[in-house]
Amino acid sequence: MSLSSKVNKARVVFIPSGKRGYFPVGTPVLQAAQTLGVDIDSVCGGRGLCGRCQVVQATGEFPKHRINSKAENISPLNETEKAYAERPKKSLDAGRRLSCATKILADCVIDVPADSQVHQQIIRKDADSFDIEIIPPVQLHYVEVWKPDMYDPSGDLRRLREALEREWQLTDLRFGPGMLPTLQRILREGDWKVTVAVDYRGQVIAVHPGFRESLCGLAIDVGSTTVAAHLCNLRTGEVLASAGVMNPQIRFGEDLMSRVSYVMLHPGGDLEMTKVIREAINKLAEKVTVQANRDLDDIIEVTFVGNPIMHHLLLGINPIELGGAPFALATDESVRIRARDLDLTLHPNARCYVLPCIAGHVGADTAGMILAEAPHLREAITLLVDIGTNAEIVLGNNERLLAASSPTGPAFEGAQISCGQRAASGAIERVRIDRETLEARFKIIGCDLWSDENGFEEASYKIGVTGMCGSGIIEVIAEMFLSGILSADGVIHGSTAGRTARVVAEGRTFSYVIHQGEQEIHITQNDVRAVQLAKAALFAGIRLLMEHLKIDKIDRIRLAGAFGSHIDVKYAMVLGLIPDCDLQQVTSAGNAAGTGARIALLNHESHAEIENVVRSVEKIETAVEAKFQQHFIEAMAFPHKTDSFPNLEKVVTLPVETSTQNDLHTGKTRKKRRRSKS
């Protein structure tokens, strides 16, 4: 855009989508969003009636976007918004604006919250089926307390103690002073019949009027992208309800290091992120208790897992030290803290347990994964991988465990990919390419039909084909490689344009078109490179651990996390995400970190177990390992430059390895067969 054409126009960036453009001053935010194709809901057509198009202006300096998003860069609250906020059962929380009534006055960054998006992300961190030995941290004891009378001057607390000793043989119980202000009211409300919650250390946690059969606990996985919560019956271990939300910290940065950078550039930014994550947890707690027809007051125990930066921000610790070497943690020990100290609106005496971290980039989520998968109890050499914006890796068995983190970046979650998006309705999640015709067919989330099946257009009409999520990205690039469209060193063959119209020139490179329509979906050379960089970082980290362990093969591989749970393990190996292994031994671990949080919630003896195991884990820092770069370069090829994949070749025919360059003048491809090592 020329300089003259920008006069009287403002630059707007929408997050988390990253879509941006220039618009005349005075343009409504909703109109700008719709022009750019930003996923934002509106039912009333911009009349300020439905309130579904709510947005939040992200204020401050954004060097990445070269924008200083000041509060005055959008129009002030107007009568339409005030009228909406005053309507019954409607709300406009502080900081929120109706995008249909808000106008752009200067350059700004606009955050579209998850609940304002049409295609809200499908949170796939369900509570996986898992056998857990229930050793509750809290036991309930129903007692009938003798009423006071003129002949017995003892206090209500003493008579409650006597009742617990008389009926349950419980002595030397500790009552916190915070319980005294409500004790008399509760005893009389229950007509002197109460249920007392006592933990395994003899601490009285709560007194409830009347008979109470069970209390609840929350197991929470605080991920950098999503936050998942599971409400559990502490007595039976039953998962009563589960829910997930997008981590609201995304508006401060999509990946972890960008959030640390935000803190560096915005003093007090850590306090903002601590506040929004705690608010999100409170909303999740409310959501799951409503689902289960329970009260927030029923929640007495909470366990948390999360990567080190999420761990620190949750606890109100500035994560700035984790932004650079030596990546020092404030603490690598487990943390026990009262829920009210984390601003959580649960039972007044609810307590939280945060699993220990392992190293600067290997956090409590990895500890949870170890607790769930128990590699320290197996003889088989096991590889655990949790793939996210940072990949956590654990390798070993009952003799020795090693752990590391590898900077994969957000490519596998859709960021950095031209057509990438998170897992939501309309996202391509499965891809197949015909080896002869090079034609593509695909499946999208929300539709059971493949794109070449009868009825697909009708079935997907309302959903639309909106982009490609992580599993689709893995499959399409693997399929491009297996069908010969993509070379082993990651170059899209320009010569295949003669065989299919799907391979098209794009400047000095080529791209592969998967879908044409209102939203064109295609894989560019830059997309391929982003995946190569991500997968090479992961494989290099794994190879380093194998070297330290002095092994050349792995017995079993478990892929954890929301992403790892939904990728086809065959395609993951074709790309070289993971080393060669018997494919029957490569399986999904589900949300292993969340499972670990549930184990810690329901079995208090597991706390000592994981704390001991974590102390024995050897931490390998990839950033200072001299051979990491060499492993990284070799892992850029598909599936790998030098490693063999005999197990994979039993089920997949890998293309002949070639080194490829596109002739920029003719569009033809020059192939040079790799020399074998002498």
Q: Between these two residues, 407 and 129, which has the higher pLDDT value?
A: 407
Residues 6+ apart with CB under 8 A from 106: 10, 25, 70, 72, 73
Reported as a pLDDT band with limits 50, 70 and 90, residue 596 is very high
- 333-366 pLDDT, tens digit per residue, is 999 999 999 999 999 899 999 999 998 889 999 9
What CA–CA distance (Å, rounded) separates 15 from 26? 20
| One domain, residues 204 and 323 | no
What CA–CA distance (Å, rounded) separates 408 from 531? 9
31: left (phi over 0), alpha (psi -120 to 50) or beta: alpha
Reported as a pLDDT band with limits 50, 70 and 90, residue 326 is confident
| Phi (first) and psi of residue 234, to 5 degrees | -70, -20
Work out the number of other CB atoms within 10 angstroms of the CB of residue 613.
19
| Phi (first) and psi of residue 632, to 5 degrees | -60, -45
**Percent share of the chain, pLDDT over 70:** 92
Three-class DSSP category at 144: strand
* pLDDT value at residue 677: 37
| One domain, residues 397 and 542 | yes
What CA–CA distance (Å, rounded) separates 329 from 533? 27
Q: Would 677 be classed as within a structural domain?
A: no
Q: Between these two residues, 526 and 40, which has the higher pLDDT value?
A: 526
For the cut 60, the answer to whether the pLDDT of residue 4 exceeds it is: no
Q: Which of 6-15, 266-275, 405-414 has the lowest mean pLDDT?
A: 405-414
| One domain, residues 270 and 381 | no
Q: Cα Rg for the chain, rounded, in angstroms?
A: 28
What CA–CA distance (Å, rounded) separates 581 from 579? 6
Residue 581 CA neighbour count, 13 Å, CB half: 26
* pLDDT value at residue 526: 92
Q: Would 487 be classed as within a structural domain?
A: no
Q: Would 235 be classed as within a structural domain?
A: yes
SS (H, E, C) 314-377: HCCCCHHHHHCCCCCCCCCCCEEEEHHHHCCCCCCCCEEEECCCCECCECHHHHHHHHHHCHHH
| One domain, residues 232 and 146 | no
Task: Please state at what angle helix 592-602 crosses helix 605-616, rounded to 10 degrees.
Answer: 130
Amino acid at 421: Q
Contact 395, 366 (CB under 8 A): no
* pLDDT value at residue 415: 62
Contact 113, 580 (CB under 8 A): no
Length of the chain: 678
Residue carrying structure tokens 């998170």: 422
Work out the number of other CB atoms within 10 angstroms of the CB of residue 484.
17
Q: Would 192 be classed as within a structural domain?
A: yes
Question: What are the strands, taking DSSP E only, across 148-298?
Answer: 174-175, 193-199, 203-209, 216-222, 226-233, 239-246
Residues 6+ apart with CB under 8 A from 590: 126, 128, 560, 565
For the cut 50, the answer to whether the pLDDT of residue 395 exceeds it is: yes
| One domain, residues 268 and 205 | no
- Which of these, 325, 364, 380, lies nearest to 592 by C-alpha position? 364
Q: Which domain-ending residue is among 354, 387, 415?
A: 354
Residues 6+ apart with CB under 8 A from 310: 222, 223, 224, 247, 256, 277, 363, 365
Contact 264, 273 (CB under 8 A): no
- 283-312 pLDDT, tens digit per residue, is 999 999 999 999 999 999 999 999 999 999
Q: Which of 128-132, 288-292, 307-311, 426-430 has the lowest mean pLDDT?
A: 128-132
Q: Would 563 be classed as within a structural domain?
A: yes
| One domain, residues 247 and 290 | yes
The number of domains in the chain is 4
* pLDDT value at residue 332: 93
What CA–CA distance (Å, rounded) separates 249 from 111? 11
- Averaged pLDDT for residues 513-525: 89
For the cut 90, the answer to whether the pLDDT of residue 450 exceeds it is: yes
| One domain, residues 55 and 85 | yes
For the cut 50, the answer to whether the pLDDT of residue 123 exceeds it is: no
What CA–CA distance (Å, rounded) separates 581 from 456? 36
**Joined tokens for residue 190:** 């229950």
- Which of these, 544, 531, 622, 543, lies nearest to 572 by C-alpha position? 531
* pLDDT value at residue 414: 61
Q: Between these two residues, 156 and 3, which has the higher pLDDT value?
A: 156
Q: Would 255 be classed as within a structural domain?
A: yes
* pLDDT value at residue 118: 64
Task: Give the Cα-Cα-Cα angle 413, 417, 420 (nearest 5 degrees).
Answer: 55
Residues 6+ apart with CB under 8 A from 553: 381, 579, 580, 581
Longest dimension (CA), the chain: 106
pTM given for the model: 0.81
* pLDDT value at residue 267: 92
In a 10 Å sphere around its CB, with 0-12 CB exposed, 13-18 middle and 19+ buried, how is residue 140 labelled?
Answer: buried
What CA–CA distance (Å, rounded) separates 73 from 19? 18
* pLDDT value at residue 413: 66
| One domain, residues 110 and 188 | no
Q: How does strand 193-199 pair with strand 174-175?
A: unpaired
Three-class DSSP category at 660: strand
- Which of these, 310, 304, 317, lies nearest to 253 by C-alpha position? 310
- 180-213 pLDDT, tens digit per residue, is 889 999 999 999 999 999 998 999 999 999 888 7
Residue carrying structure tokens 């107007």: 78
Three-class DSSP category at 114: helix
Amino acid at 613: V
For the cut 70, the answer to whether the pLDDT of residue 44 exceeds it is: no
Q: How does strand 60-62 pair with strand 67-69?
A: antiparallel
> Which of the given ranges, 64-68, 629-633, 666-670, has the highest pLDDT on average?
629-633
Q: Which domain-ending residue is among 354, 385, 419?
A: 354
Contact 513, 468 (CB under 8 A): no
| One domain, residues 343 and 270 | yes
CATH of the domain at 195: 3.10.20.880
Q: Between these two residues, 115 and 227, which has the higher pLDDT value?
A: 227
Residue carrying structure tokens 């609201």: 248
Distance of CA 496 to the CA centre of its chain: 37
In a 10 Å sphere around its CB, with 0-12 CB exposed, 13-18 middle and 19+ buried, how is residue 177 labelled?
Answer: exposed
CATH of the domain at 58: 3.10.20.30
420 DSSP β-pair partners = 468
- 534-556 pLDDT, tens digit per residue, is 999 999 999 999 999 999 999 99
- Averaged pLDDT for residues 473-501: 94
* pLDDT value at residue 180: 87
Q: What does each C-alpha distance from 152 to 145, 148, 155, 158 come to in angstroms?
A: 13, 6, 9, 11
Residue carrying structure tokens 């607790």: 371
Q: What's the domain range around 580?
A: 374-402+535-633
Q: Would 519 be classed as within a structural domain?
A: no
| One domain, residues 546 and 397 | yes
Q: What does each C-alpha distance from 282 to 4, 219, 243, 304, 396 come to in angstroms?
A: 49, 13, 12, 13, 37
- Which of these, 123, 510, 138, lies nearest to 284 by C-alpha position? 123
In a 10 Å sphere around its CB, with 0-12 CB exposed, 13-18 middle and 19+ buried, how is residue 628 labelled?
Answer: buried
For the cut 60, the answer to whether the pLDDT of residue 108 exceeds it is: yes
| One domain, residues 44 and 69 | yes
What CA–CA distance (Å, rounded) separates 100 from 571? 44
Amino acid at 5: S
- Averaged pLDDT for residues 447-473: 90
- Averaged pLDDT for residues 455-472: 89
**Joined tokens for residue 218:** 């929350």
Q: Which domain-ending residue is among 165, 185, 209?
A: 209
| One domain, residues 305 and 197 | no
Q: Would 107 be classed as within a structural domain?
A: yes
Residues 6+ apart with CB under 8 A from 351: 205, 300, 301, 302, 336, 337, 338, 339
* pLDDT value at residue 126: 47
Average model confidence (pLDDT) for the chain?
A: 88
